[in-house]
Amino acid sequence: MGDSVPVLRIENLCKTYDDGFEALKNASLEIDEGEIFALLGPNGAGKTTLINIVCGIANASAGQVAVSGYDIVTEFRKTRSLIGLVPQELTTETFESVWATVAFSRGLFGKSPDPQHLEKVLKSLSLWEKKDNTIMTLSGGMKRRVLIAKALAHEPRVLFLDEPTAGVDVELRQDMWDVVRQLRATGVTVILTTHYIEEAEQMADRIGIINHGELILVQEKSRLMRELGKKQLILYLDDPLQAIPEHLAAFDLEPGPEPNELVYSYDSQANSTGITALLNELRSAGIHFSDVKTTQSSLEEIFVDLVKRIR
């Protein structure tokens, strides 16, 4: 973290619903301006609750939240005008036109009309041709675009995307990430939750993993993948092995999915990866191979592994 005020500071945030369910337990988090932050977690982990509290839709039971240094309760006008939210559900004003609903959003957030900005937003989301259509005539994907356009109508500095690509086609997903990249280029902070972890892997600077209301890990994506990800060396043997020889027991070896594959897992950050020693041992044992390949765990594998460990 730098010395500058983080764009989002969450301190010991708790949320307990009336029925006693603890949706958030002492969650603390800081996000810097211009970051793309991905919040990952299984269903019911507390992602949407956290977003709803920051945006003003839900009240916190305890803890504090500041956006660009402003408290979300006492200085709600300042914080909310900085935030744009794309909700998880497809909630739109069914009978309104696209243009009317986007113009409404801009006005609601205190901004004077700016047709040029709205035009730019609608064009960037391929909605310009549909601007006079009533929302009820649009497809689900188009409605999702409308929600994004509404969130961008007041030129927010922090954009929350709560599973924005759930149930949308590849084209929209690409459009959306293009928009996110453009926003990031202008210094907008993007905080997203997604079920498509490969998207977080592709887009995010940092990853937060939340489970049962607790933020169990917040780390730079590259570091997370380096530290928690497994690296594997796959050897394609000339002749399949019946069993892994005993003198190779010191190496983390396991048979691959194919009979002629042998998989060696190693720590790429360790002083010695053991690859040279393994290759020497294989040669002396007369085990020959025709090809090799290395792989690294995906963010999804890391995420699943982490959540399993916590459970």
Q: Which residues here bind other proteins, judged by CB under 8 A?
A: 17, 52, 55-59, 76-81, 83, 85, 87, 89, 91-96, 100, 103-112, 150
Please state the closest distance from residue 254 (CB atom) to other proteins, in A: 48
Which helix (H) or strand (E) segment holds residue 9: the answer is strand 8-16
Q: Dihedral (C-alpha) 30, 69, 47, 151: value to the nearest 10 degrees?
A: -130
Please state the closest distance from residue 275 (CB atom) to other proteins, in A: 53
Nearer to other proteins, 52 or 165 (CB): 52
Please state the closest distance from residue 214 (CB atom) to other proteins, in A: 20
Nearer to other proteins, 104 or 177 (CB): 104
Nearer to other proteins, 94 or 174 (CB): 94
Residue 93 CB neighbour total at 10 angstroms: 16
Please state the closest distance from residue 25 (CB atom) to other proteins, in A: 17
Nearer to other proteins, 154 or 206 (CB): 154
Closest by alpha carbon to 32, among 151, 158, 154, 156?
158
Q: Cβ(263)–Cβ(234) under 8 Å? A: yes
Q: Cβ(58)–Cβ(245) under 8 Å? A: no
Residues contacting 121, CB < 8 A, separation 6+: 102, 149, 152, 153
Nearer to other proteins, 58 or 263 (CB): 58
Please state the closest distance from residue 86 (CB atom) to other proteins, in A: 10
